[in-house]
A and B are shown apart, each in its own frame.
Chain A
Amino acid sequence: MKFEYTISNLNFSTAGEASSNIKKVLKLLGIDSKIIRRAAIATYEAEINIAIHSHGGKIILYIEEDSIKITAIDKGPGIENIELAMKEGYSTATHEIREMGFGAGMGLPNIKKCSNEFSITSEFGKYTKLEITIFI
């Protein structure tokens, strides 16, 4: 089953909606609350990333009997150095974004921690794509 959520750039009033919706869906399906929590955190961090760093994008959720797959894909600008981006505390967020309480450099490492399988691909100037798998 597939669910899709559009995330727009710098729209903080809707950021968090995908995560909260995904939580509701997984709860209805009776999935273990620990797994729901991991999926909610991963989605939340991914959608905040799209909102603060990208030109907009979407989150797609696929649910199967044995796994949850979350794909986050945006329209760029892409990540120059992925290795650096994966480091805890490293952030390229602007001062304003940090003032709002985001951009602590923990998003990507947190997403990885919540996933059983995690991949990140990016083309600088074009897109970033996260693929997150959590086993049920």
Chain B
Amino acid sequence: MNKEYFHSVILRPDLCTGCTVCMQNCPTQAIRIIDGKAKIISEKCIDCCMCLKVCPYNAKTAITDSLIELQQYKYNIALPSLSFYAQFSQKYSKNSINLALKSLGFEQIIDASYYAEVLSVYLKDLSLCNSTVKPIISTYCPAVTRLIQIKNPELIKNISRLESPMEVAARHVRNKIIEEKNISENDIGIFLLSPCPAKITSIKNPIGIDKSSLDGALSIKELFPKILKILLTQRNEEINDLQNFHGELWGRVGGQSKVSKIDKSIVVDGIEEVSKILDMIELGKLDNIDFIEAYSCVGGCVGGPLNVENPFIAKYRIDNRSNSSYPVSNNEIRSNFKFENLCWNKEILPSKIMELDNDISIALKKMEAINALLKKLPGIDCGACGSPSCRALAEDVVQNRAKFTDCIFKKFEGEENEN
């Protein structure tokens, strides 16, 4: 995989027809149609995967690692995301799925639900702490964190300092293996089995930390048929399945609040609704709330575009399994994990990508130019020019990213005048 890229979501030009559906649906207006193909403006993309979900031609895809990457390491570890096991029919035990993963080349499988539970304990602490800026916003969905950087930078101070269960799990297990098995750090490969491109981007281009503890990410969608093939040939196995922790509930919307037992929390899913809630926080309307659990995808991580199962069925399976799972004891968590080791440490910075200019007097002049252009445009936001709205085209023209005659109405007018 190319380590230099910024986003996991990419376009397959061969399949793109330039139809404008993705451009019209992108919540940060990060897409333009140029020469008949959709282009993502990297700095504006938050990896919410809306384009991937709405593309009628499946022309959007995610860059992921493949199983071949496992050859780079001597000791490979799979880190299934919290919505992973819910992709499989309940007749397959967690144990049998793990055995299938082992036959695909993994030496060890990490149970992320344990680490979600560790974080839940400290999340509850944070919600009770008076010095924390409220409401605390979860960082679990990286697309939400990126949306805050772009659209609501005033809320960066509300972002929870706790890392994701994936980072915490990978770091903890890596250190343990180096210590116990005497394997050198470079020989260990930890791979996320990911439900979404946003988490993959976070490995290559992390926010809040210098370097991810994960080495790569595989798409659940790509792995699923391979695992299923193995499961189908497996014999019936032992009755005692592996233990399951409450933390698996983090795989679906509402899980963080439920496991942390934070009462005053707002749970919101779907990027547009998330954006509205963030605006409400900025207006000071949610000061009485302790915690915001927000997900770009409807349903939470079960709704991730790299999953295979219907999100509502997967959610049902997670809930069902949680009835027979056990919480980890608070004492065990507190003696094994310290708060300061579970936090990101690098400042999260606001993005300035939406600004017209650094200099306000130039920005004002550009704004005047945009308003003047806007009056001349038809105002029907058809998208045929390749920008998502007439306003966006006016802005693109002023910023030298497009021409006024990209507007098909203006183009025809111009041609008529010539004739």
Q: List A contacts of B363 (CB < 8 A).
A: 28-30
Is there contact, CB below 8 Å, between B154 and A29? Answer: no
Q: Does B282 contact A (CB under 8 A)?
A: yes
Q: A29-B355, A29-B360, A37-B282 are in contact. List 12 more A-B contacts (CB 8 A).
A: A1-B368, A27-B151, A28-B363, A28-B367, A28-B395, A29-B367, A30-B355, A30-B358, A30-B360, A31-B360, A41-B284, A110-B284
Is there contact, CB below 8 Å, between B356 and A28? Answer: yes
Residues in A1-54 with C-beta less than 8 Å from chain B: 1, 19-20, 23, 25, 27-31, 33-34, 36-37, 40-41, 44
Q: List B contacts of A63 (CB < 8 A).
A: 364, 367
Q: List A contacts of B356 (CB < 8 A).
A: 28-30
Q: Does B27 contact A (CB under 8 A)?
A: no
Q: Does B153 contact A (CB under 8 A)?
A: yes
Q: What per-residue 1/0 map shows which CB atoms of B335-375 lie under 8 Å from chain A?
A: 00000000000000010101111101101100110010000
Residues in B240-271 with C-beta less than 8 Å from chain A: none
Chain B residue at smallest Cβ distance from A48: B283
Q: State in angstroms the CA–CA spacing of A10 and B86 once bound together.
A: 46
Q: State in angstroms the CA–CA spacing of A126 and B356 once bound together.
A: 41
Q: Does B279 contact A (CB under 8 A)?
A: yes
Q: State in angstroms the CA–CA spacing of A23 and B282 once bound together.
A: 11
Chain A residue at smallest Cβ distance from B366: A28
Is there contact, CB below 8 Å, between B354 and A33? Answer: no
Q: Does A83 contact B (CB under 8 A)?
A: no
A-B pairs with beta carbons under 8 Å apart, 19 shown: A1-B367, A1-B371, A20-B279, A27-B354, A28-B367, A28-B395, A30-B360, A30-B363, A31-B360, A33-B153, A36-B154, A37-B154, A37-B282, A40-B282, A41-B282, A41-B283, A41-B284, A65-B360, A65-B364
Chain B interface, number of residues (Cβ within 8 angstroms): 22
Chain B residue at smallest Cβ distance from A136: B360
Q: Is the interface of A mostly helix, strand, loop or mixed?
A: helix
Q: Which residues of B contact A (CB under 8 A)?
A: 151, 153-154, 279, 282-284, 350, 352, 354-358, 360-361, 363-364, 367-368, 371, 395
Q: State in angstroms the CA–CA spacing of A30 and B371 once bound together.
A: 17
Given that A19-B283, A33-B350, A37-B154 are contacting pairs, would A27 and B355 also be in contact in the complex, using a CB cutoff of 8 Å? Answer: yes
The winner among B283, B355, B371 for most chain A CB atoms within 10 A is B283
Is there contact, CB below 8 Å, between A33 and B154? Answer: yes
Least CB distance from A76 to B in Å reads 26
Is there contact, CB below 8 Å, between B154 and A30? Answer: no
Least CB distance from A130 to B in Å reads 17
Least CB distance from B342 to A in Å reads 28
Q: State in angstroms the CA–CA spacing of A23 and B363 once bound together.
A: 15
Q: State in angstroms the CA–CA spacing of A30 and B362 once bound together.
A: 10
Q: List A contacts of B284 (CB < 8 A).
A: 41, 110
Is there contact, CB below 8 Å, between B364 and A1? Answer: yes
Given that A30-B352, A30-B356 are contacting pairs, would A65 and B361 also be in contact in the complex, using a CB cutoff of 8 Å? Answer: yes
Q: State in angstroms the CA–CA spacing of A34 and B154 once bound together.
A: 6
